[in-house]
Structures are given as structure tokens and as C-alpha cells.
Amino acid sequence: MTKNLAHVLFAACLCLGASESKAQEKPEANCSVTVMRNTPQAAIDACSTLANSPDVAVLAKAEALKTRGRAFFSLDRLDAAAADFKLAALLNHHDPEIPVRSGWIAVQRRELVQGVAFATKAIGIDPRFARAYDLMAALLHGVGRYDAALAAYDKAISIAPGDPQFHFNRYKVLVAAGRNDEALHEADVMLALQGPEMSESQVVTYDTLISTSLEPARAGRDARLHA
């Protein structure tokens, strides 16, 4: 009796393991932001399967297209990314991230008018979507409208004060505008917000900021104060 029970339990474990293995092979497991960041092509393949499946709901298809578009963008395949974001927007009118993603393509292509239109559309969908103001600020920064860019970053930070990227972007505008003391304060705030969720590229960028900009600037400020 005990032997039979052991065999039954062992067989059940095998079936469970097989089910988990099959679940891991499902496309939705790889059509994710995590996979997209690490292995973009795997995300593209998985998201393509979902987007082309007749059994997938409309909003799930929109999400798959958005993720695939981000993967294309990371590979600098801007035309493919733009096509995916355009189709995703048709399937889901209520996701402000989709026009923001399209807007970053406009930034890459230096298409200011289109970029502003995408940022404005995202804000219209959700006025509390901080990354829409981040996009708007980047567009304004690119054409030298520093005060307007800072105002847009202020709005983004008011919505998401704990995001170090917004403070870093605001820092760059202040440096470009020659407002160095304010830039130092902004950088100090940004560095204090660094957390374990930061990407490797952010860590490298911030470390470079400290070594090339902050320390010499602090030394200059201290020298002025004690002159």
C-alpha cells in the first residue's frame, strides 16, 4: 500500500514538473519586459506568437505589440517599433505608455512636432502619467527651451518624486542652462535616490557624473565660498 502511494505521488510530481515546463514554454512567459531587456529577439519571437494568435484578447495583443515594439526599439529597428506602437494604439486607446513610446522614436528621429503630439496625447489619456512629462521635457531640452523643460520635469517629479531618472534628466538641463549650483543640488538628490532596482547603465552613468562633473564642480563652489 505504501509502495503504491509512493508511485502515485512520484507520478504526480512528474506530471506537475511537465506542466511547469510547458508553462515556461508558453509565449507569454517570454513576451515580457524582463526578457525584452535581456534577450530582445526572444521577446520579439514570443510576442509575435501572441500578437498573431486568434485566441488572444485584444488588450493582450496590444500589450504584446507594445513589448515587441520596445524590443525592436532596443535593437534600433525604429520602423518596426513605430509600426508596432501604432497598431498597439489602435487596439488600446487608454494606455498612455504607447504614445510615449512612439514619442521616443520621434526624439530619435528629431521630429519635434510629432514628439510633442505624442506627449500631449499621453497626457490627455492620463494627466498623472509622469513619463509623458519626461518625454515632453526631453523634447523641449533638445531645442534649448530650458525653462519649459525644467517645468515639465518638475511636473514629472511631483508625480513620481522617487524616480532618480527624472532628477538626473533635470540635472542635465540645469547644466546645459549654466545653472551649476542648482545642478549640484539636483544631482545630490538624484544620487540619494539610487536603489537596487537601478539598471547597470544608470549606475555607470551616475558614477561617471560624480567623477567628471560633481566633484570638480563642488570643489569650484567651495573655493568660491571661501574666497
**Model pTM?**
0.76
Interval 24-43: pLDDT, tens: 457 678 999 999 999 999 99
Evaluate if residue 7 carries a pLDDT over 90. no
What mean pLDDT do residues 177-197 have? 79
pLDDT score recorded for residue 20: 38
Distance of CA 185 to the CA centre of its chain: 25
Per the prediction, the chain carries an average pLDDT of 82
CA angle (164, 169, 86) in 5-degree steps: 100
User: Of 85, 148, 154, 67, whose CA–CA distance to 121 is shortest?
Assistant: 85
